[in-house]
Amino acid sequence: MSRPAGWVPAFWLDIFDELLYDDNELDYGDEWNLNFNYTQTDEITKEQRKRGWKVYSHCAFGKFQCGACHKTWRSARAVVLFRYRVRNGRGTVIMRPFGQACRQCQDGAFDLPGFTRKEVEHALLRLFSKIRKNCYGEEESDEASSTSSAKVWTKPHEAALCEACRLGICCLEDE
């Protein structure tokens, strides 16, 4: 499937497993899993930090579809947030996608983005690079930081319609 059709957690899970187990992206003998939490934020308490939790926010190119009027739009600022840690041989990643509201409906509902396989792979490879650095002490590779998607800003970002902007964690600083 090359075109995003909307938020599909199984798509992320499949690619996560492929990269982990077929490509050995985190080859340290720990068992990793990916979960979803649609309310988590980028804030970590002192207690969570002591227990090893880290946060990584990624800005990707996504496609949105309004649940009410079915209008579709693309955005180069589709935000996904990852919380991760490794403990006792088990690695956990908790992911949250952030939605955008439809400009036409303005009903306050946030629709979650769909992503292409390339965008999902890119986001997960960046995440794995952060995990290798922060959980296993590896240097972050130049390759990981230089593989960023070529961003083309076609329209101004509408912060009022962006869930991540409302929470202060959108990727506006990328400009």
In a domain? residue 2: no
What was the pLDDT predicted at 140? 75
In a domain? residue 29: yes
- Residue 93 near residue 82 (C-beta atoms within 8 A): yes
Side-chain half-sphere CA neighbours of 14 within 13 A: 6
Among residues 95, 102, 104, the alpha carbon closest in space to that of 123 is found at 95
28-53 in b/e form (b: 16+ CB < 10 A) is eeeebebeeeeeeebebeeeeeeeeb
Total of domains in the chain: 1
In a domain? residue 51: yes
Give the pLDDT means over successive 10-residue stretches in the chain (175 positions): 66 96 91 95 92 94 93 93 96 96 89 95 96 92 50 72 91 53
What was the pLDDT predicted at 103? 92
What was the pLDDT predicted at 149? 47
The C-alpha angle 124, 95, 125, rounded to 5 degrees, equals 5
In a domain? residue 19: yes
Q: Which domain holds residue 31?
A: 9-167
What was the pLDDT predicted at 151? 53
In a domain? residue 3: no
In a domain? residue 152: yes
In a domain? residue 35: yes
In a domain? residue 21: yes
Output the pTM of the full model: 0.87
